[in-house]
Amino acid sequence: MSETPKSIVVIGAGIAGVASALFLQRDGHTVTILDPRGVGEGASFGNAGTIAPTSCVPTARPDTMKRVPKMLLDPAGPFNIRWSYLPKLAPWLIDLIRNSSPEKILANAKAKTALLEHAMAAYNELIADAQTEDMIVRNGILQVFETDQGLKGMERDHALMQECGHKIEFLPGEEIRQMEPAFSQKFKHAVYIENHATIKHPGDLTKKFAAHFEAKGGAFLQEQVTGLTKAGAAWSVITDKGSHSADRVIVAAGAWSREIARMLGRRMLLDTERGYHVMLPQPDPTLRRPILLGDQSVFLVPMAHGLRVTSGVEFGGLELPPDYRRIRNMVPFAKRVMPQVEEREMSIWMGFRPSTPDTRPILGEMPGAEGVFFATGGSHIGMTLGPIMGKVTADLVAGRDPGIDMNPYTPDRW
């Protein structure tokens, strides 16, 4: 319990905002979450649902310079840039290239690992509090490869994970059928990562966490933040429906957090790596755990309500309409490895990963805007990092040492 309970507004009801609200509430603060879309309707709705404490590999690669033209020209590749968005993305891309030296990649991976090491423990605290263990499958994940080249293509990622101290196991192809009887396809290689868990429905888990927060007296209001001004010692959070006075403000608005930074007169190199999914009917038999088809970069995830197929990254900002062609092209890969898959699209979705070019989260108090804390930038692993970002944020608000070097995550590092 904090000695001086405060009134706190959290902007954004994705996993980062809801987790921050829950940890702040534990300290006795009066917390209100604002979000115009409802709870868990942003990126936290449609992701692949893996809690992935070993996923330290940054987006930048030593060959990023070479990959960018390929991204632009390969219509079937897992990366896509919408041409009209390229001028706006340019500063972000240039910084991505700056972050692609082997030294920077290792430093950024280690910076993420410092948070990832505590990610599962922070999740477990929230899962226990909200009694949601039934929404989690603790069965690891498998990466499978049909070819030697497929495995070789991920060699650098695997080496980096091991260098950061994460345990991964290389399995011979024969073991895959025993682990995943649903496959008809034979694979040559597999990599098993045991300490990953899967959320059966990430949007629903976020909603259940929020329901627990409200049951304990927290407030959620469906309002959009349009301005932030300092009013004496407090902040005035202006919305489309009114305004709220707060001692502290937590910005957990995902890919939209850059707009909130702008309200404070700050520039942030936060953009979005857009991602897609298609939901198919649950195959019978289905998978026991998420599977990455390593040769095609397609991720198959058995969820509570069907099989989720996800793949790739699209750079196109927050405004351009979705282009579902690539993700639809991935569905036949699921059928190829499991003929029992019915290629009937139950739903299709696009979401906005909040991504920085160094793939380090944005976490901490904004210098010069005392009392405003950012908790965003989770990028490809934001569902994993949400709870630990929330826990660290509560520590910082309370003036406790989070036990993690916060320098790599400073919100004003640009």
Residue carrying the six token digits 């195959």: 283
Q: Is 353 in the site for ligand FAD (CB under 6 A)?
A: yes
- Least distance CB 289 / ligand FAD (angstroms): 12
Q: Is 56 in the site for ligand FAD (CB under 6 A)?
A: no
- Least distance CB 37 / ligand FAD (angstroms): 4
Q: What's the CA gap between 55 and 292, in Å, rounded?
A: 13
- Binding string to ligand FAD for residues 268 to 287, with x set by CB under 6 A, is what? -------x-x----------
- Give me 51's structure tokens: 């809690």
- Give me 139's structure tokens: 């069965």
- Least distance CB 65 / ligand FAD (angstroms): 25
Question: Per CB under 6 A, which region of 47-55, 79-87, 161-169, 335-343 contacts ligand FAD?
Answer: 47-55
Q: First-to-last CA distance in the chain?
A: 34
Q: Is 376 in the site for ligand FAD (CB under 6 A)?
A: yes
Q: Is 179 in the site for ligand FAD (CB under 6 A)?
A: no
Q: Is 387 in the site for ligand FAD (CB under 6 A)?
A: no
- Least distance CB 160 / ligand FAD (angstroms): 17
Give whichever of 14 and 371 is closer to ligand FAD, judged by the CB atom. Answer: 14
Q: Is 392 in the site for ligand FAD (CB under 6 A)?
A: no
Q: List Cα–Cα distances, 61 to 71, 102, 147, 185, in angstroms.
A: 13, 8, 22, 31
Q: List Cα–Cα distances, 36 to 11, 206, 253, 326, in angstroms.
A: 10, 16, 11, 29
Dmax of the chain from CA atoms?
A: 67
Helices (H), 27-101: 43-46, 64-73, 86-98
Q: Is 53 in the site for ligand FAD (CB under 6 A)?
A: no
Which of positions 181-240 make contact with ligand FAD (CB under 6 A)?
Answer: 224-225
- Residue of 331, 286, 299, 307 lying closest to 182 (CA atoms): 286
Q: Is 252 in the site for ligand FAD (CB under 6 A)?
A: yes
Q: Is the CB of residue 267 less than 8 Å from the CB of residue 326? A: no
Residues in the site for ligand FAD, rule: CB under 6 A? Answer: 11-17, 34-37, 41-44, 47-50, 52, 224-225, 252-254, 256, 275, 277, 310, 351-354, 376, 378-384, 386
